Amino acid sequence: MRAGQLVVATPQLLDPHFARSVVLLLQADSEDGALGVVLNRPTGTELAEVLPSWADLSAAPPLVFSGGPVSPSAAICLGHARAGGRSAAYSAIEGMPAGSVGTVDLDARPEEVQRVVTEVRVFAGYAGWSPGQLESEVEEGGWWVLDSLPDDAFSPRPERLWHQVLYRQGPPIAFAASFPSDPTLN
């Protein structure tokens, strides 16, 4: 497991914070554990309401996303990188192709960051696991560890992301995309 990969909830993961979630790992190591943001949990809050200066750079839908249950008042910003751009306010996520996705310092001026990124997405909170915890959850069948694509973090239809990521894996994982959210209704 490494930064830049996705951990995708299997149908058996029923925790309401993570059921059918797609998490982009921003950090994953044996000493510090893992940290990521849930990519498919938009809130109803417009980015323009909380960070108006960043609204013009917001990926569609222009909402704040719930990044996870840890520190929900903290903000993490991801940026979709332009080719060859550099800024002290942008840090590429290790493991992503050619620095295509990174974190953005929200204390920077959006005009400075716009030279480096085409769009941003802001997450309130994050998902975190202590050392060995995520690995245990993967072994227990709660998560699949899958490769990400740069566009996953900026999906214009986040409500479809879980299905899309599973479908592109091919069988047998793709079969889970059609698994009903409530199997008792099947």
Top-level class of domain 5-181: alpha beta
Please state, in angstroms and rounded to a whole number, the distance separating the CA atoms of residues 34 and 138.
Answer: 12
Q: Please choose, from the candidates 22, 24, 34, 23, the residue with its C-alpha nearest in 3D space to the C-alpha of residue 4.
A: 24
**Higher-scoring residue by pLDDT: 30, 43:** 43
Q: Please choose, from the candidates 15, 6, 44, 8, the residue with its C-alpha nearest in 3D space to the C-alpha of residue 124.
A: 44
Question: Is residue 124 within 8 Å of residue 73, measured between CB atoms?
Answer: yes
List pLDDT tens digits, range 9-36. Answer: 999 888 888 999 999 999 998 788 999 9
DSSP 95: T
pTM, whole model, 2 decimals? 0.92
Question: Mean pLDDT across the stretch 119-124?
Answer: 96
Whether 185 shows a pLDDT value over 60: the answer reads: no
3-class state of residue 150 by DSSP:
helix
